[in-house]
């Protein structure tokens, strides 16, 4: 356990100075106004920031500073595996083999922690933790909206771009923190939330972790340290999630489509009233998880229904851009894995004629996506580097019936959207759902999605 007082007494290094690192700095500065803080980051331009009482460690050798500090507060984006050469590591020596010298060395090793660990170990309120390869942000936000509508003193925090340490000084026992947790934030966590939501697990971030097993183990930390007094809400239709749930000591609440069917007595009628939101980027498991959490807090049924009905889906998740020149455009830029793109194709149906695919290489298998595209009515493939070519090869490999495709390799969004207008017929759908991360050409999925929307609207003029 790391107490807040430990941070005041020790030499502290903030590792990574993005959104979360800056929030950590503000928190530590309020805690110790006169303390010198270390900041390490690859970005040399950070030196221009006018911050007092800071020791900078910038550029390619930024990790060499680690050994000079007692506590390292690591940002989620920095893979743990790259730290190992810079920290004395004797953790593989068995306890009975540790001599006095080795024990002393171990005691001198810097402690690597994170915002998430510090928050979990010091928060007096209740934490509702939400994770999954896809659907985290939507589910977290939907849970927050339902709890708020039911009079719960809820706060929306975490991976949804709301760093957490700034919330800690004012936290009270009756506060409820709805915390979106990425695998990076869960990695090496030693405490689990009182209420855990585990939506799904698919191969992802394989460039960050040593292998898929390490990624799954990180996700498993959401329930690993739960007790019999805690709750685990989990998707029983996902095999990796089911295996994790088997080992959990928490009270288990399995969810699937029937969770929603049972909640809304006349489901077909409720679809028309707006309760079922799949076409807006909210799938049935998001809703099922939110309902399960609401029931734990005893939120009245009518308030749950109302909050779901009025929920506005988040951008870049099957976001309807609009109808232009008779074509319906959808921005699903957050679809960075094949499963998300498969969901989008199935959800939008046989009007999808043009799809944007490809991006950053993360060693993901595209076999299932190729099958889905071959079953669909998709005719036009607009392909980004570097995985666009890989996806096309998989499609052509499986194309036994010699289905005809028009395919185009592009390296910018403007050209891609122009091609979409030229080749998509009126009454059809053009879908940006790349099944890959955006980093090969774009800063992030937001930039990719925003450029798509920008050029869709510009070309119509």
CATH of the domain at 270: 3.40.1190.10
Specify if 146 maps to a domain. Answer: yes
State whether 277 and 419 are in the same domain: no
Residues 432 and 417: their CA atoms lie apart, in Å, by 10
Residue 449 has pLDDT above 70, yes or no: yes
Point out the domain boundary residue: 309, 328, 362: 309
Residues 376 and 370: their CA atoms lie apart, in Å, by 10
Nearest to residue 325, comparing CAs of 233, 245, 389, 418? 418
State whether 151 and 233 are in the same domain: yes
Specify if 118 maps to a domain. Answer: no
Please give the helix or strand (H or E) that residue 232 lies within, else none: strand 231-235
Query: What is the structure's pLDDT at 73?
Result: 97
Query: What is the structure's pLDDT at 279?
Result: 45
State whether 357 and 426 are in the same domain: yes
Nearest to residue 355, comparing CAs of 386, 396, 383, 320? 383
Specify if 24 maps to a domain. Answer: yes
State whether 336 and 245 are in the same domain: no
Residues 118 and 74: their CA atoms lie apart, in Å, by 11
State whether 44 and 139 are in the same domain: no
Query: What is the structure's pLDDT at 277?
Result: 45
From the number of C-beta atoms within 10 Å of its C-beta (0-12, 13-18, 19+), residue 147 rates as buried
Tell me what the mean pLDDT of segment 17-34 comes to: 96
State whether 142 and 279 are in the same domain: yes
Residue 122 has pLDDT above 70, yes or no: yes
CATH number at residue 93: 3.40.50.720
Structure pTM? 0.90
Residue 313 confidence class, pLDDT cut points 50, 70, 90: confident
CB 383 within 8 A of CB 406: no
Give the total number of structural domains in the chain.
3
Provide the percentage of residues in the chain whose pLDDT is more than 70.
Answer: 91
- Residue 324's CB is within 10 A of a number of other CB atoms, namely 15
Specify if 34 maps to a domain. Answer: yes
Point out the domain boundary residue: 113, 144, 165: 113
Query: What is the structure's pLDDT at 275?
Result: 47
Query: What is the structure's pLDDT at 127?
Result: 98
State whether 150 and 295 are in the same domain: yes
Specify if 229 maps to a domain. Answer: yes
Residue 304 has pLDDT above 80, yes or no: yes
How far is the CA of 361 from the CAs of 187, 269, 437, in angstroms? 22, 43, 8
Tell me what the mean pLDDT of segment 57-76 comes to: 94
Query: What is the structure's pLDDT at 102?
Result: 53
Higher local confidence (pLDDT), 146 or 261? 146
450's CB contacts (< 8 A; 6+ apart) are none
pLDDT digits (tens, 9 = 90+) for 352-404: 999 999 999 999 999 999 999 999 999 999 999 999 999 999 999 999 999 99
Residues 256 and 392: their CA atoms lie apart, in Å, by 33
Residues 291 and 244: their CA atoms lie apart, in Å, by 21
- Residue 226's CB is within 10 A of a number of other CB atoms, namely 22
Alpha-carbon Rg for the chain in angstroms? 24
State whether 204 and 277 are in the same domain: yes
State whether 152 and 94 are in the same domain: no
Query: What is the structure's pLDDT at 29?
Result: 96
Point out the domain boundary residue: 285, 309, 333: 309
Residue 272 has pLDDT above 50, yes or no: no
Tell me what the mean pLDDT of segment 85-106 comes to: 55
Residues 320 and 279: their CA atoms lie apart, in Å, by 8
Residue 4 has pLDDT above 50, yes or no: yes
Specify if 331 maps to a domain. Answer: yes
Please give the helix or strand (H or E) that residue 55 lies within, else none: strand 54-58
Query: What is the structure's pLDDT at 281?
Result: 55
pLDDT digits (tens, 9 = 90+) for 317-350: 999 999 999 999 999 999 999 999 999 999 899 9
**What number of CA atoms fall less than 13 Å from residue 206's CA on the CB side?**
16
Domain of residue 23, residue span: 4-113
Residue 69 has pLDDT above 60, yes or no: yes
Tokens 């810079």 correspond to what residue? Answer: 86
CATH number at residue 364: 3.90.190.20
pLDDT digits (tens, 9 = 90+) for 180-209: 999 999 999 999 999 999 999 999 988 899
Specify if 230 maps to a domain. Answer: yes
Task: Go through the chain and tell me how many residues it has.
Answer: 461
Residues 177 and 191: their CA atoms lie apart, in Å, by 15
State whether 177 and 255 are in the same domain: yes
State whether 102 and 142 are in the same domain: no
Specify if 314 maps to a domain. Answer: no
Joined together, the tokens standing for residue 132 give 């999954």
**Residue 83 phi, psi dihedral angles, 5° rounding:** -85, -25
Residues 217 and 356: their CA atoms lie apart, in Å, by 32
State whether 296 and 331 are in the same domain: no
> Please, what is the average pLDDT of the chain?
91
Residue 405 confidence class, pLDDT cut points 50, 70, 90: very high
How far is the CA of 91 from the CAs of 95, 97, 107, in angstroms? 9, 11, 11
């Amino acid at each position: 356990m790391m107490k807040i007082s430990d941070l005041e007494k020790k030499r502290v290094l903030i590792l990574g100075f993005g959104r979360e690192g800056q929030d950590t700095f503000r928190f530590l500065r309020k805690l110790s106004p006169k303390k010198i803080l270390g900041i390490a980051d690859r970005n040399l331009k950070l030196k221009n920031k006018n911050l007092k009482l800071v020791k900078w460690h910038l550029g390619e050798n930024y990790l060499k500073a680690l050994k000079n500090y007692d506590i390292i507060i690591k940002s989620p984006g920095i893979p743990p595996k790259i730290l190992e050469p810079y920290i004395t590591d004797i953790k593989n020596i068995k306890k009975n083999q540790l001599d006095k010298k080795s024990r002393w060395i171990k005691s001198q090793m810097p402690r690597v922690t994170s915002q998430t660990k510090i928050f979990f170990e010091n928060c007096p309120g209740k934490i509702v933790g939400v994770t999954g390869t896809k659907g985290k942000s939507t589910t977290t936000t939907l849970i927050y909206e339902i709890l708020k509508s039911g009079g719960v003193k809820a706060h929306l925090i975490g991976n949804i771009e709301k760093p957490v340490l700034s919330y800690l000084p004012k936290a009270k026992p009756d506060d409820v923190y709805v915390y979106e947790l990425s695998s990076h934030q869960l990695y090496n966590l030693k405490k689990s939330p009182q209420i855990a939501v585990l939506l799904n697990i698919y191969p992802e971030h394989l460039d960050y972790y040593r292998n898929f097993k390490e990624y799954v183990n990180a996700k498993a930390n959401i329930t690993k340290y739960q007790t019999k007094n805690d709750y685990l809400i989990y998707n029983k239709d996902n095999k990796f999630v089911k295996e994790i749930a088997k080992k959990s000591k928490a009270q288990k609440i399995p969810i699937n489509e029937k969770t929603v069917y049972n909640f809304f007595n006349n489901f077909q009628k409720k679809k028309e009233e707006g309760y079922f939101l799949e076409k807006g980027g909210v799938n049935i498991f998001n809703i099922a998880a939110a309902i399960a959490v609401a029931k734990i807090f005893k939120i009245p049924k009518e308030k749950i229904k109302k909050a779901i009905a009025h929920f506005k889906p988040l951008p870049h998740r099957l976001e309807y851009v609009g109808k232009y020149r008779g074509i319906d455009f959808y921005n699903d830029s957050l679809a960075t894995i094949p499963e998300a793109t498969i969901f989008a194709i199935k959800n939008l149906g046989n009007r999808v004629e043009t799809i944007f695919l490809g991006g950053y290489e993360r060693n993901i298998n595209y076999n299932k996506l190729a099958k889905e595209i071959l079953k669909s009515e998709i005719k036009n493939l607009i392909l980004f580097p570097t995985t666009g070519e890989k996806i096309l090869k998989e499609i052509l490999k499986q194309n036994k019936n010699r289905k005809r495709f028009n395919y185009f390799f592009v390296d910018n969004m403007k050209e891609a959207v122009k091609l979409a207008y030229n080749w998509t017929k009126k009454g059809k759908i053009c879908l940006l759902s790349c099944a890959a991360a955006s980093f090969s050409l774009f800063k992030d999925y937001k930039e990719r999605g925003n450029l798509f929307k920008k050029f869709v609207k510009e070309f119509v003029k």
